[in-house]
Structure 1
Amino acid sequence: MDILVFGGSGKIGSAIAYDLAQQKEVGSIGIVGRHKTTLDKVQQWIGSDKVKVHVLDINDKEATTALMKQYKVGALGLPNRKTSYKVAHTAIEAGLNIVDTIEEFHRTPDTDEVEGLEVPQGLAIEDYGEWLHNTAVKNGVTFVSGMGFAPGLSNVTLGEGIRTIDEAEKAVARVGGIPSKEAAARHPLRYMITWAFEHVLREYVIKLKVIKGGKIVEVDAATELEPFRFNHFGKDEQLECAVTPGMPSFLFTRPQLKEFAEKTVRWPGHWQGVQTLKECGLLSIEPVEFAGHKITPREFLLSLITPRLIPNEGETDVCVMYNTLTGKKNGKPIKIEYFMWDEPKRADISSMMRVTGYPLAITAKMMLMGKITEKGIVAPEDAIKGELYREFVDELKKRDINILEVTT
């Protein structure tokens, strides 16, 4: 069989499976999850006889391996690092080519928050990524790590831009999922949940690495606020962005850059509100005493604010990208900009599902067709390049996801 989708009952996984089912080159798709009822609903929603349901506990390594060996490519739309690493580890040992969407470059795991990762005995977390890479190379496995929106589209566009100029100096990715302007006015922080909100809050408080002055340095997330105006695709909106840990592979694959950062786009006022929450201690995970009980501030905040951030009926999201690359070509300064403004095309598939799930589905299909052959853990910016980059952008355009490139 062709492509096996892990996390197939989730929003991103179902979008991946839906898109794959529309492709004539893909003959069969398996969707994996723990609950048959939910998987059956996804299967019915997709409405294709290509889709087969697999109820599976990924903690059962033997059963997971047996299922993997029935397929040619695995597509991972899993919700967190723990499940992503578990399935990726099993796939590498099983010899299954995979593409994953989690915000992590599996060759260089984040060592600050281990989050229950099961590292093989005798290995330190710092060595685990290289062990996975070497094992994948040994087993002839291709593992495209971090393919979605950001990481994913942001990596691929900037990566291709860097290849087209002589000297790349500064790359900044500005990406984010936001409510429509109308919906933003009805929610706190001018925000609406389109992604796991607990994960979003984590990204607001951790330390992350960027490149400054040609050196990798550590900075606080949600800082270095930058306002900008987006005025393409018939839009003219004032937005803001701040640094977040969205493209970790670039630190590994593009160390020649003098400046690099990934920033998350929000409506004006959002980041000021986040900073207030941080200063009040409400994003902390350190337990505090309250009324004779210990509570975790961030968990308490989540319980209060999550219901207020859930989309109301009819509310939609928008995904925005504004990436810039500056450097030199033929001895002269050059600037390349990449723009995207995506809105849902149907009520049951959000923009975030589209711009995260569809790039992964396109990549999985390319892997199925033998177009990505490099072995080991491969970053999106190294997997999609040259003619394959142009094919990738064309495939996105077929799905009405349009990337505008402007060179000055």
Structure 2
Amino acid sequence: MKALVLGGTGRIGSAVAWDLARYGGVDEVGIVGRSRSSLQKALEWIGGERVVAHSIDISDSRESRRLMQKYDIGIIALPERKSSYKAVETAIGAGLDAVDILEEYHRRPDPYEKEGMAAPAGMSLDEYGESLHKKAIECGVTLLDGMGFAPGLSNVTLGEGIRRVGAKRAVARVGGIPSREAAARHPLQYMITWSFDHVLREYMVGVRVLEDGRVSEVEATSGRESFRFKECGIDEELECAITPGMPSFLYTHSHLESFSEKTIRWPGHWQAIDTLKECGLLDIAPISYAGQDISPRDFFLRLIEPRLKPLPGDEDVCVMWNSAQGSEEQADCFMWAEADSKNGITAMARVTGSAAAIAARFLAQGRIGEKGIVAPEEAFCGELYGELYGDLLQELKRRGINIVEVIKPVESKASLDA
């Protein structure tokens, strides 16, 4: 099997390539990037004779298509929407099955803050997404969409919990946070582990949720909840708020009475974000200053990003608590995954990269048979996929990423009403 990683020089993409090269089943790992120096640095870090670098511009569809046709499976690890959609279109045209890790359901594009992504002339965004899905089916291509940590593992574990207890109400709580020690050394009690401009986008756009069995739109960072995480040998006070993290769930689980995805942070983070919002610092509409038009968010990013970069010794954590409540039983799923300090891999890159790499192997092995744009919960959840779901958790455990599943009688609706 030959696997191609688009965005293979970034934190997440290089972690995907590292996993593919380390855990077997792959004869060649291609990594794609524009910068030769970045590619060389990634090659040296990943190591191994099976890793090959390709210096191309992925916006060049013709060149990208020729390269994709030489591989059996693709992993798209690009940080923003415009390049992701371009890569998806090219992969479909090349007949390449692929896993995309972006927080996007390409079949139903998010209408907010498009990051340069646009539908073809004469098409709405939904029509564009549906056309990609239909074209993938026609070409016999599978795009496993949003398969990383969140979305990805969050979709799969929550979807399986819903199935097991016949749930009608569900909440996903997920987040990448600094370790407690690292949080104290940074503003906002936050540390960058992936694209921070995309994080701020999540804090500002409208978010679709399920309420009373219908799709509703709420404000990002609403639905605040404080909770105590007491699993996986951990005891910490945390907070979470609604963000647009699992968009496919609105369509694959439209039968639910209620559903929302919430991002976990350390206490105090959301209050700080409120202040930034109130001051207008997260707005994208330009303002005039000293004879120039300046986007407040762009200015704020330039100011804050250097202060949020990891300092020597800083590490991060990926934390998850998903709840699915049925009439008699509740299924909870917990994870607390730390960084791989030995190999220099952040927790976010480790969890996201591992999930994507494992799923890519399964897809290349023919274990995911659906064609078109397929959400993670469609590929791994259900009685027909019990073995695949179990194998996913086993492969994660092999990498030291442990997911704890608990099914218990329903005692109160409070945990899902917060």
Cα deviation 1:87-116 (Å, max 9, x = unaligned) = 000111111001100000011011233332
C-alpha distance in 1 between matches for 2:298 and 2:167 = 42
Match of 1:131? 131
Please tell me whether the aligned partners of residues 2 and 28 of structure 1 are also in contact (alpha carbons under 8 angstroms). yes
Match of 1:400? 400
Match of 1:246? 245
Please tell me whether the aligned partners of residues 223 and 242 of structure 1 are also in contact (alpha carbons under 8 angstroms). yes
Cα deviation 1:166-225 (Å, max 9, x = unaligned) = x32111010001111011111111111111111111110111100111111000001111
Please tell me whether the aligned partners of residues 171 and 262 of structure 2 are also in contact (alpha carbons under 8 angstroms). yes
Q: Unpaired segments of 5 or more residues in structure 1?
A: none
Code of the aligned partner of 1:211: L
Match of 2:120? 120
Match of 1:255? 254
The answer to whether the aligner puts 1:342 opposite 2:337 as a matched pair is yes
Match of 1:378? 374
Q: What's the offset of the Cα at 1:299?
A: 1.2
Please tell me whether the aligned partners of residues 11 and 349 of structure 2 are also in contact (alpha carbons under 8 angstroms). yes
Please give the residue correspondences for 1:6-405 in structure 2 after superposition, counting only pairs within 5 Å.
Answer: 6-165=6-165, 167-328=166-327, 333-346=328-341, 348-385=344-381, 386-405=386-405
Matched residue of 1:323: which SS?
strand
Matched residue of 2:251: which SS?
helix
C-alpha RMSD of matched pairs (Å): 1.1
Code of the aligned partner of 2:61: K
Cα deviation 1:255-276 (Å, max 9, x = unaligned) = 0110100000000000000001
C-alpha distance in 1 between matches for 2:119 and 2:302 = 32
Match of 2:413? none
Please tell me whether the aligned partners of residues 2 and 368 of structure 1 are also in contact (alpha carbons under 8 angstroms). no
C-alpha distance in 1 between matches for 2:138 and 2:70 = 20
Q: Unpaired segments of 5 or more residues in structure 2?
A: 409-418
Relative to the length of structure 1, the TM-score reads 0.97
C-alpha distance in 2 between matches for 1:87 and 1:65 = 9
C-alpha distance in 2 between matches for 1:305 and 1:113 = 21
C-alpha distance in 1 between matches for 2:148 and 2:227 = 24
Per mean C-alpha deviation after superposition, the further-off stretch among 199-208 and 339-348 is: 339-348
Code of the aligned partner of 2:261: E
Code of the aligned partner of 1:366: F
Cα deviation 1:316-350 (Å, max 9, x = unaligned) = 0011001000013xxxx110100000111225100
C-alpha distance in 1 between matches for 2:73 and 2:9 = 18
Relative to the length of structure 2, the TM-score reads 0.94
C-alpha distance in 1 between matches for 2:294 and 2:121 = 34
Matched residue of 1:389: which SS?
helix
Per mean C-alpha deviation after superposition, the further-off stretch among 65-74 and 295-304 is: 295-304
Per mean C-alpha deviation after superposition, the further-off stretch among 39-48 and 13-22 is: 39-48
C-alpha distance in 2 between matches for 1:365 and 1:217 = 36
Please tell me whether the aligned partners of residues 344 and 350 of structure 1 are also in contact (alpha carbons under 8 angstroms). yes
Please tell me whether the aligned partners of residues 86 and 118 of structure 1 are also in contact (alpha carbons under 8 angstroms). no
C-alpha distance in 2 between matches for 1:313 and 1:39 = 24
Please tell me whether the aligned partners of residues 168 and 326 of structure 1 are also in contact (alpha carbons under 8 angstroms). yes
Cα deviation 1:59-107 (Å, max 9, x = unaligned) = 2111111111101111011111111100000111111001100000011
